[in-house]
Structure 1
Amino acid sequence: MRNSSKEIIAELLPFYQAQLMNKVIPFYMEYALDRQYGGYTTCLDDDGTLLSGDKYLWSQGRGVWTFSALYNRIEKDPKWLEVAELGVRFLREHGRDSQGRWVYRTSREGKVIDGPISIFSDCFAVYGLTEFFRATGDRAALELAVATYAEIRRRIAEPGFDAVAPQVLPKGWRIHAIPMIMLEISQELGDVAPELELQPFIDDCVHQIMDLHLRPEYHVLLENLTVDGQEIQTPEGRVVNPGHGIESMWFVMHQARRRNDQHLINRAVEAIRWMLEIGWDQEYGGLFLAVDRDGGPAAFPNWDKKAWWPHTESMYALLLAYELTGEEWCLDWYWRVHRWAVGHLVSSYGDWYQRLDRQGRPIKEVIALPVKDPFHLPRMLILGIQCLKRIASDESLIEIHFNKEC
């Protein structure tokens, strides 16, 4: 039995802080900083071994976000800005083609290997540059973020747009990943550049996620729909990605908190519960990478693997859901995910294991991209620390809901 809210905060907050500052960030400071060519080397094995010098541009943008956020949200240490600047310089010097589109992959030195085949490179550039501007006031970084954002908006509106590597966007389909990432980068950019008046577009992103992809009749969020928002009557049309859905819901909760919209918060929190219930492996524990709409195997590569990122996204989403609703089940599920993650994903190397088989054993098989970048895990820890501190300041709430056996 956990005797008081103070004991819970006393346990979780130091755990998050120690994981972030004593384990995860030191891992990337040792293995990911490329002081010779700039940016970050993120094709890493779990022990930090460099597997390839290739640089995926979305990992560069993600790294800029994380080190900028450390400065903005954890501690005002100039070294975090210096490390963030390492990524910003690489982005500025090697990230775009002649038309201002962000490329997908370069060599370690910055030579383009794959061009602008993934809009997610552009999106994470905006995400990182926006957070860097928050930290530094660097107007050139903000101007680059704004110009990139405008180009993203233009490209995704074009008929036949399909630059979504490593995913595939068949003709006539729409994918959840686009409104999802656009919601997050739009609300973050809009906070620092309100003159852009992004709220109507943000509202449309929320509509696409919550009224099209989210399907209450099945208690799932469908990743793939037709362009007019109808179900696709194939196995691929039935794919549910629990981690993606849960991450999307905390993006929605952030927007709902900005609006002070409790109804939208409640809808997103309910959807998190759906994703956990359908995605949790009842035999071995942990979240499947993907499942069918009705449960069971999905038409999705490596559907039964257990990756680190769905669990980190779930941990933050559940803390946030608890903060915003006080619902007891959020903590019950939080501890369930926490215990599984700590028992299977935490490694002796500092960072967590990236990929596990269904039984929870580390594997080397590449899933999606061959990268291990400083993003999902440190972002969860950074945002989780902020969330825990807010929860700790609301004694009336946590005394009621934290005094429970976990």
Structure 2
Amino acid sequence: MDIAEIQDAERFYRKHLKEVILPFWIPDCIDQDFGGYLNCYTNAGKELLSYHKFTWSQGRFLWLFSELSMCEDSVFSDEKKSKFLGFAESGADFLRKHVFLNEDKECTYMMDRAGNPMPVEPDSVLSSSIYADFFVAAGFAKYAVAAKDHKMFELAEEMYRNIKKRIEQGKYLTLPYPIPKGLRMHGIPMIFLNLSTEMYVSAAGLGLENETYGQDMRLFYTDILTNFVDGDHVLREMITTDNSLVDHYLGEYCNPGHTMEDIWFILKAAGCLGDQSVLPLCSEILKNAYRIGWDKDYGGFRLFVHHEGGIPRGTTAGLEKEPMFRQIEENHDNKLWWPHSEGLYSFLYAYFLSGDEELLTIYKKIFDYTFAVFPNRDSRVGEWIQIRQRDGRPDDKIVALPVKDPYHIIRNLILLIQLLREQQDKAGLKREEEIPCR
């Protein structure tokens, strides 16, 4: 990738972030009356369907606005960054006041507009997914360093310790997809790796000790690469609790989006620790995610695939009632926004680390497909149509949460801009000035 391509790419991503994505969300997502954020929009983005606040998304918005407030001056003006920090403060205050259910800092999964905890179903427990806790803790950690708020980081640390304790004791839930008995799910060490890296970086930004988080980072990515990656360098989503591969449907499927996202988590964490040893294996895992996940007929990544490629398959006896089984069966052919957003960053990041031209070639294919398919063709609305059918037509359905969530898009656009600016710095080039938002 030559310097002209790098500059063009950075210019494109900056413009897309500022002129297509952010205007959709700002200021409408900010709940001026109650605090926190609103995002229960239709997939096309034309209608707000509910004022319910899913904790998962509230923590993600907090992270995003905190990160946006720390972008370089040449990306956003001081005035804009101050507004972003104010938006983050709204979310931090809302969550701190309303999200916790007990002294152990367990989070509710969902709240009403005013912040009152509410169950998803009448008979369901309030703390129904530990993923909500992960995202709140990451949001608090990011806000702490953005606002230089040591008390907030102490709260993130308390949450981190309690999450770790619950994971070790097995006292947690993972709505909407419970982990079947006898199995481990890749999502747990994956999201814990992300959180421990967030804690590590934020602690360093606040001048605090972060060795414990560094130890956890290495533990989590070693677990993933050792136990969840098979002999063909394909990352499986479920293995047994004694770290063996599973020869049934749920043990044989893969999630290319999770693979691509987790690979850059691993590369980031290893880079923080000065560990270059994981790069060759991570590059092979990425290539295999493309090999088995890319739709050769229509382009784009299928949501779920068999570990050898193609439609998920395998023995299903006794699995038919598992929510994850139904999720795979009903949605495997869909093309979702977030795997493509993660693929853009993961492949380009691994390319710049390794110099492997094959990774760059795949990145360019992902780029061409993503920006031909996902951005909303109605420029008056903006953002992306987040769910597509296999052939690229919009699909108005719910996958996981009934929200429209900008987390993957904005996070990866920020990371792509940072990555491309770093390459220009290495070449000794002067950066362009800010492109104003419309």
TM-score category (smaller protein): over 0.9
Q: Deviations over 1:81-113 (max 9, x none)?
A: 001111111111111102420110111121211
C-alpha distance in structure 1 between counterparts of 2:89 and 2:23, whole Å? 17
Match of 2:401 among 359, 369, 381: 369
Contact 1:280 1:288 in 2 (8 A): yes
| Residues 197-208 of structure 1 aligned to structure 2 (within 5 Å) | 197-208=212-223
- What are the equivalent positions in structure 2 for 1:174-213 lying under 5 Å apart? 174-193=184-203, 194-195=208-209, 197-213=212-228
Please tell me whether the aligned partners of residues 342 and 408 of structure 2 are also in contact (alpha carbons under 8 angstroms).
yes
Q: Is residue 2:343 matched to residue 1:345?
A: no
Q: Does 1:313 align with 2:342?
A: yes
Amino acid at match of 2:209: E
Tell me whether 239-248 or 217-226 shows the greater mean CA deviation. Answer: 217-226
Q: Secondary structure at the match of 2:296?
A: coil
TM-score, with structure 1 as normaliser: 0.93
- Residues 109-128 of structure 1 correspond to what in structure 2 (within 5 A)? 109-114=114-119, 115-128=126-139
Matched, 1:244 2:258: yes
Shift of 1:35: 0.8
Contact 1:257 1:265 in 2 (8 A): no
1:395 positional shift: 3.6
SS in 1 for 2:26: helix
Distance in 1 between residues matched to 2:233 and 2:385, nearest whole Å: 30
Could you say which residue in structure 2 is the equivalent of 1:96?
Answer: 100
2:14 aligned with 1:17, yes or no?
yes
2:424 alignment partner in structure 1: 392
Q: CA deviation at 1:364?
A: 0.8
Is 2:311 the counterpart of 1:297?
yes
User: Which of the residues 326, 331, 339 maps onto 2:360?
Assistant: 331
Distance 1:155 1:60 in 2: 22
- Paired residue type of 1:38: G
| 3-state SS in 2 of match to 1:40 | coil
More displaced 10-residue stretch of structure 1: 197-206 or 360-369? 197-206
- Partner of 1:174, secondary structure, is strand
Deviation (angstroms), 1:295: 1.5
Q: Among residues 139, 155, 171, which one is paired with 1:144 in the alignment? A: 155
1:83 corresponds in structure 2 to 87
By how many angstroms is 1:371 displaced?
Answer: 1.2
Quote how far apart the aligned CAs of 1:162 are.
4.4
Q: Are residues 218 and 162 of structure 1, via their aligned partners in 2, closer, same or farther at CA, if it must alter by over 3 Å?
A: farther
Structure 2 distance, partners of 1:48, 1:209, is: 40
Q: Is the 8 A contact 1:246 1:317 kept in 2?
A: yes
The residue identity in structure 1 corresponding to 2:394 is P
Asked whether the equivalents of residues 218 and 294 of structure 1 are also in contact (C-alpha less than 8 Å), the reply is no
Residues 218 and 270 of structure 2 are in contact (CA less than 8 Å); yes or no, is this contact kept in structure 1?
A: no
Determine what percentage of the aligned residue pairs are the same residue.
35
Paired position in structure 2 for 1:404:
none
Shift of 1:342: 0.4
| Deviation for aligned residue 1:374 | 2.7
Q: Look up the equivalent residue of 2:132 and give its one-letter code.
A: S
The more displaced of 258-267 and 272-281 is 258-267
Structure 1 unaligned blocks of 5 or more = 397-406
TM-superposed CA distance for 1:187, in Å, is 1.5
Deviation at 1:279, TM superposition (A): 0.4
Instruction: Measure how far apart 1:292 and its partner are.
Output: 1.1
CA deviation after TM superposition for structure 1 residue 237, in Å:
1.1
Deviation of 1:169 (Å): 0.7
Cα distance in 2 for partners of 1:312, 1:249 equals 13
3-state secondary structure, aligned to 2:118: strand
User: In the aligned structure 2, how far is the partner of 1:239 from the partner of 1:22?
Assistant: 37
**TM-score scaled by structure 2?**
0.86
Q: Tell me, what secondary structure is at the counterpart of 1:195?
A: coil
Q: What is the identity, as a one-letter code, of the residue corresponding to 1:102?
A: C
Report the CA distance between 1:170 and its aligned residue: 1.4
8 A contact 2:127–2:173 mirrored in 1 = yes
- CA–CA separation in structure 2 for the residues paired with 1:21 and 1:141: 29
Distance 2:60 2:48 in 1: 18
Aligned runs of 1:28-39 on 2, under 5 Å? 28-39=25-36
SS of 1:250's equivalent in the other structure is: helix
- Contact 2:45-2:404 within 8 A present in 1 as well: no
Aligned position for 2:431:
none
Runs (5+) with no aligned partner, structure 2 = 120-125, 313-324, 429-438
The CA distance in 2 between the partners of 1:126 and 1:24, in whole Å, is 25
* 1:48 positional shift: 4.1
Q: How far apart are the structure 2 equivalents of 1:30 and 1:393?
A: 33
Give a deviation string over 1:332-380, Cα, whole Å, max 9, x none: 1111000000000011322111100000111111111111123100000
Distance 2:46 2:92 in 1: 22
Give matches, 1:246-265, under 5 Å.
246-265=260-279
Offset of residue 394 of structure 1: 3.2
Contact 1:27 / 1:350 at 8 angstroms: preserved in 2? yes
SS of the aligned residue for 2:239 comes to: strand
Residues 291 and 297, structure 1, Cα contact 8 Å, conserved in 2? yes
CA distance in 1, matches of 2:9, 2:102: 48
SS at match of 1:304: coil
Amino acid at match of 1:381: L
- Superposed CA RMSD: 1.6
Task: Report how far residue 129 of structure 1 moved.
Answer: 1.0
